[in-house]
Chain A
């Protein structure tokens, strides 16, 4: 019975989304049926575009995972956008400026430093929350803008390529970039690193005492505290891990795709991560599904824009609609208990 209920629910969502899509496609003057063909063909049509799903999905998996982990611990990290940039910047500094190290060490170092930089950046918000009781939502948003501008300063000064004079860093040497797996596509090893991290975070959160404590802090900080579980400890852990994951998203995007530091290269994947986490109900094991579906929609919509002149901003409208529908369903089915607790 439960399976039937879930199936009908999913069906309703799909139908609603299809209705919105048809409306949008028709509004832009294209034929919905042929546009759908282009959409599907854009995804499965060739090796390159199919692999592109995983390329676009990789940073989203990591930022989505970062948000899911933080939200489960009751730490509202909206700052994955900034942590992404700080991680990428740290990785760029290590791989470009530490040339005295052998390439392997520079790659490993970039990952470690990128993780730490992102984690410490989000720890600022955790510290302000714990010490001064300041809302982490606001602080992480402010930190996003500081980080974005910080990258801007960096590519105009200490990380600028002196040869080009453009606001960007030098190109990473080939031996410090992440290898590609399928020739002729951009699919790189970072995707599997992201999947491994999903498994790791799932294991930590669901199967270890550490993760149990974090979840408890998220569910009921008061109960955690009176049972001798440190709320501060849980929040610090969540902030460090979540910021670190977002930082790694930046590291991987830098070392596998962009290969140089420049402004605006996150393409908002930090903010999207928040919504990915919500679609995955904050469960680490569902994050890759949500992220890859979103990435597939992006790839297909890009093809529609190229070939049928349907604006690809349609994807943003659809994901906005999905989240609103999810929230509305939670409201209408009265899943919020009378005590006002939210699912974490």
Chain B
């Protein structure tokens, strides 16, 4: 066992599968970060991802095109998150309750629809996205193989990461969203249309969360199961906290969770006597510790999950 561990190729493989596992979390985490920065907490991210996964599977299966599958997945995610937006941004309802209800709805809806699909045919599987090597960059030892020998959606995620950074740091739109998350009343007074921006943030949340779910299908598994996401939406919430509400922070947190997941699978393969659950709980413990250690310098948006009512106080 130790001979296997002590080779470069082992570490390369480990990191590569860690990056692959991190991708759904990165997409969903970025989506959740955008909406949380604008003050909307979406506990329903699990449901958003699940809908994204199911609709991308159904879309790709029936149309035969992975691109259309991705599109359907993103729209499926947006469907859930726009219900959330209607109830919480427009309707000022409790964001936690709405999110949990949407999780349940998505879980029921996707397994219901999947069962209907399954009745009509044999075992359903779609082919997944091929890997594309980036010339030059993929030649870098260890890192090159891990980061630049992935599928095209992973590269899209890198672009998205930079775009999110620019959006939040340097654009009027991003700054106005952040100001809503911190103090919606001041933002409103400054002439920012609070509800419109929050609706937009929710739309981004749904599209990206849906893409995260779709990634599981069209880049990793190629098939669907009941409750396929199995808690990844909640981990995406954790990446936002651990990543301190910044795009690159979310990226690093997603990498950490992804790699932990990869290590877990490797240990299982080796037959290590430690229960894998001991490792599976580590990301959550790390997140709690990070929350405790940074509690004085809290980055949480001040008005997170508090509905803003014009003229209220």
Query: For the complex, is B278 an interface residue (Cβ under 8 Å from A)?
Result: yes
Q: CB distance A133 to B298 under 8 Å?
A: yes
Among A36-44, A216-224, A311-319, the stretch in contact with B = A311-319
Cβ contacts under 8 Å, B41 to chain A: 137
Q: Contacts of A139 on B, CB cut-off 8 Å? A: 288, 291
For the complex, count residues of B whose C-beta is within 8 A of A: 58
Do B281 and A145 have beta carbons less than 8 Å apart? Answer: yes
User: Which residues from A are CB-within-8-Å of B280?
Assistant: 145, 149, 152
Taking a contact as CB atoms closer than 8 A, the residue among B108, B278, B288 that contacts A317 in the complex is B108
> Which residues of A lie under 8 Å from residue B304 when comparing CB positions?
135
Consensus secondary structure, chain B interface: helix
Q: How many cross-chain pairs have Cβ atoms below 8 Å apart between A and B?
A: 171
Nearest CB on B from A303, distance (A): 16
Instruction: Verify if A132 is at the interface (C-beta below 8 Å from B).
Output: yes
Cβ distance A16 to chain B, nearest Cβ, rounded Å: 14
Contact A327-B97, Cβ < 8 Å, known A146-B285, A339-B312: yes
Report which residue of A311, A331, A338 has the largest number of chain B beta carbons within 10 angstroms of its beta carbon: A311
- Tell me the chain A residues, 165-193 only, with Cβ under 8 Å from chain B: none
Tell me whether A93 is interfacial, beta carbon within 8 Å: no
Question: How close is A97's CB to chain B, nearest CB, in angstroms?
Answer: 18
A1-55 interface (Cβ within 8 A of B): 24, 27-29
Task: Compute how far the CA of A336 lies from the CA of B97 in the bound complex, rounded to whole angstroms.
Answer: 15
Whether B97 pairs with A278 at a CB distance below 8 angstroms is yes
A142-178: CB near B (< 8 Å → 1, else 0) gives 1111100111110011000000000000000000000
A153 in contact with B278 (CB, 8 Å): yes
User: Could you list 18 further interchain pairs (A-B, Cβ under 8 angstroms) beyond the known A316-B108, A338-B309?
Assistant: A132-B292, A137-B43, A137-B96, A141-B43, A141-B237, A142-B288, A145-B280, A152-B277, A274-B96, A275-B104, A316-B104, A317-B112, A324-B87, A338-B312, A339-B312, A340-B306, A340-B307, A342-B94
A-B contact pairs, 11 of them (CB 8 A): A78-B96, A146-B281, A156-B275, A275-B100, A311-B116, A313-B226, A320-B109, A324-B105, A328-B87, A331-B91, A342-B94
Residues of A within 8 A of B (CB): 24, 27-29, 76, 78, 128, 132-135, 137-139, 141-146, 149-153, 156-157, 271-272, 274-275, 278, 309, 311, 313-321, 323-324, 327-328, 330-332, 336, 338-340, 342
